[in-house]
A and B are shown apart, each in its own frame.
Chain A
């Protein structure tokens, strides 16, 4: 288990203030069986995750499907109630806030979703979608002021403000994602969880959206938690990266350290599995091909949960769970084989 008391102290050596502090966060989903709906098992989607996100940085959270990265994002935002653990945003503990106070906090923390086709209401116009947060949080605002904000937001994300009365189906995927970003920015938040914001887009459009997110970060001083399975895009946009496997963090480091000197065998395999658009390099590089599949999070292996696929596992890995330890300043890894 990571030492939760020690972690913030050490991390601050990087010299930034932690805007979000997540400690020992857990989210278990019950599996109910039988006619009485008896709880027989639990899916440990997020199983004791601790990390900080510093002000104005991008922390990339990477992992494969089912590793719990999106659940982590949803649990941080309290869209899912955590099973245990704490989430402090700017000094305020979110897990114990009551409904009304939590709602107020939501102005500062926003989310951009993966699927721009499902996350916009098809019956609302762009203007209604982008101004909706204002109806909730700024009810006293006049119609004209609202329209001005909507126009400003659309310009900010690179959409023609003349499209204000169109409906989502009239836009392409990339444009829809821009509408989703405009909506997230309406209340001038400081922190945005980006949950696979480019996964549903074509390659040439992905670059447009990533550039936009980076520009907005600089312009508005935003802090991002960028959840993705695309390791090359994560490298481009992130300052630091956390690698997740089966509900736990296996490695956290700044991006150059991670890409040049990954220590955890899973991080190494994950990086090596990414195909490179360069035929000569692709032919000559040594790939680590992992055997087997990810085990079920309802029944994770004992000891280190990567031991079923790890190419270098030793006896100790099957009995003792490795803690996420700081192996050098700012570089955390959970592996018995790393000193």
Chain B
């Protein structure tokens, strides 16, 4: 199957008065048509910046896309002019953000906001757009859509606003939906609703999804492929089951074991990852995780490990079976250099 999106060696920096913040340091990944890719990382790991760069949604300057290519359906997004990318954004690639209150226009009725996208991208007239908007709002589970369409964002709850954002994202039948921490600001019962909704819509429309989150639990239930990011690098890249069952990078291992597992017997102490993430202005030479790593060897301090295959797929012929990649000099099973 053809790749829908091919990101290669993406590098994004921010030029600030304090120095150059190296937010994304050469990441590569591919996404199949209809696949769900999870990007996991903590704050400052570059997970949001990496997708905002693709859609040219970062103000330049201070941001600078230093290098890389992002081929979407045969076209390089990074080489597009502003006008060209605008035709892709919201149309073929939709994005929903963490905070629906700040991403919706507060002084515009929600129906109008969705209708505008339909008129602009799909060339509908006003009454067709209104009809389609009601359908979309019904589709994402907003009750009484005929009345809701004439309400303003502040009249809706957080969960309802996120549904409006999803309806807006879906309005032009995108081939790729990028969800940037869309449930982080929501309560768990509402988060469960939104995840079930997106999963259902994905199955129905066959769109591809990139879901960015810091919550490994959300990823476990949703993604096929997972990227773990740390300090702007991809440190591990694997199929979801491989990643959770057989984490190969000490950071992933640390993240997974620092979670208190629901349904398991308690332990005395939670495993922790000592220290804090490095300063992105002064990244240490070598592996960025080395100062916090329990497996660190001498080589880690001098040389940053490349992302390499640590395990080949069990059956490469089966669709969705991919190699398991990690950026680490050490084999975490033996503690020895690989």
Contacts and interface: CB of A to CB of B under 8 A. Distances in A.
Given A204-B254, A282-B221, A287 B196 contact: yes
Interface string A271-308: 11111111111110001011011100000000000000
B263 A276 contact: yes
B262 A204 contact: no
Contacts of A180: none
A204 B189 contact: no
B272 A277 contact: no
A160 B234 CA distance: 32
A contact residues, range: 35 or more
A319 B6 CA distance: 58
Given A211-B269, A275-B215, A287-B196, A282 B160 contact: no
B160 A293 contact: yes
Given A233-B260, A276-B261, A207 B272 contact: yes
A202 B220 contact: no
B244 to A, nearest CB: 5
A279 B220 contact: yes
A338 interface: no
A1 interface: no
A174 interface: yes
A40 B177 CA distance: 44
B270 interface: yes
A204 B217 contact: no
Contacts of A290: 189, 192-193
A246 to B, nearest CB: 12
Contact of A64 (B187, B195, B270): B187
B58 interface: no
B159 A211 contact: no
A236 B272 CA distance: 14
Interface string B246-268: 00000000111011111100100
B241 interface: yes
A11 B271 CA distance: 34
Contacts, number: 122
Given A202-B43, A231-B188, A277-B261, A207 B270 contact: yes
A229 interface: yes
Contact of B220 (A204, A206, A272, A276): A276
Interface residues of B, number: 44
A277 B256 contact: yes
A269 to B, nearest CB: 6
A114 to B, nearest CB: 14
A17 interface: no
B244 A277 contact: yes
A204 B188 contact: no
Given A204-B273, A278-B244, A279-B240, A289 B192 contact: yes
A308 B276 CA distance: 44
A155 interface: no
A273 B218 CA distance: 10
Given A207-B258, A235-B260, A282-B220, A273 B272 contact: no
Contacts of A214: 269
Contacts of B254: 204
B145 interface: no
B191 interface: yes
A275 B266 contact: no
Interface string A201-238: 01111111011001000000000000001011101100
A283 B188 contact: no
A172 interface: yes
10 contacts: A64-B189, A203-B214, A203-B216, A206-B258, A207-B271, A207-B272, A276-B261, A277-B220, A281-B263, A293-B190
Interface of B: 42-43, 143, 157, 159-160, 187-193, 195-196, 214-221, 240-241, 244, 254-256, 258-263, 266, 269-274, 276-277
Which 8 residue pairs across A and B have the least CB separation, nearest first? Answer: A275-B217, A282-B221, A236-B260, A64-B187, A207-B258, A273-B192, A207-B270, A204-B273
